[in-house]
A = this chain, B = another copy of it.
Amino acid sequence: MNVSAKPERTRLSAEDWEDAALKLIADQGVGALAVEALARQLGVTKGSFYWHFRTREALLQAALERWEQYGEREVISQIEAMPDPRARLPELFRRVAHELAPHRVYAALLKALDHPQVVPVMARVSQRRMEFLTTIYREAGLPPAEALNRARLTYSAYVGFLQLNFTLGLPRISHEEFDAYVEHMIATLTPS
């Protein structure tokens, strides 16, 4: 009878605050990250917060670092484990397309590129992903220069799609239409 919605109301740790912060960022953006609002959502008051963190900035910093670490390393390693290099690209595309949920934080941070704290984090994450993509394209047969440009194009398309269909709600694309779009992407961006 007490598997309640409230997470058992035990005392909180710094990690609890960081997770809550990330959730709030994913839902309402970095700008909505206010300590009193977070405290209400966690069922406590500011007094708790300022015991765990020195300032609001410190929380944001910790949350960002946490997100960067807990990043999607699984995807990268799983893709790299595939034997056939040519099969990696389509698999990566379909994978990313079908689990957009983990990318909600990334999409939110994309809209917060004016905050000095998020820029370096996003730069590192985006850079790593871009390099991974470039490698895959080289392994798929593209010469270095072309692989880099194709990776730029592909990753830009990913970022743009997040903004247009995730954040902005451009004419709600249906499920079948979305699948068709993904296949179109694969056909267009995969080296023949």
Contact = CB atoms under 8 A, between A and B. Distances in A.
Nearest to A180: B149
Contact of A114 (B28, B119, B126, B157): B28
A33 B70 CA distance: 35
A156 interface: yes
A126 B184 contact: no
Contact of A157 (B112, B146, B157): B157
A155 interface: yes
A119 B169 CA distance: 8
B152 A159 contact: no
Most buried by B among A123, A146, A153: A153
A187 to B, nearest CB: 9
A145 B156 CA distance: 22
Contacts of A31: 31, 114
B184 A153 contact: yes
A161 B168 contact: no
Contacts of A156: 156-161, 164
A123 B168 CA distance: 7
A97 interface: no
A123 B169 contact: yes
A188 interface: yes
A106 to B, nearest CB: 11
A189 interface: yes
Given A150-B184, A180-B145, A127 B159 contact: no
A110 B163 contact: yes
Contact of A113 (B111, B153, B159): B111
A122 interface: yes
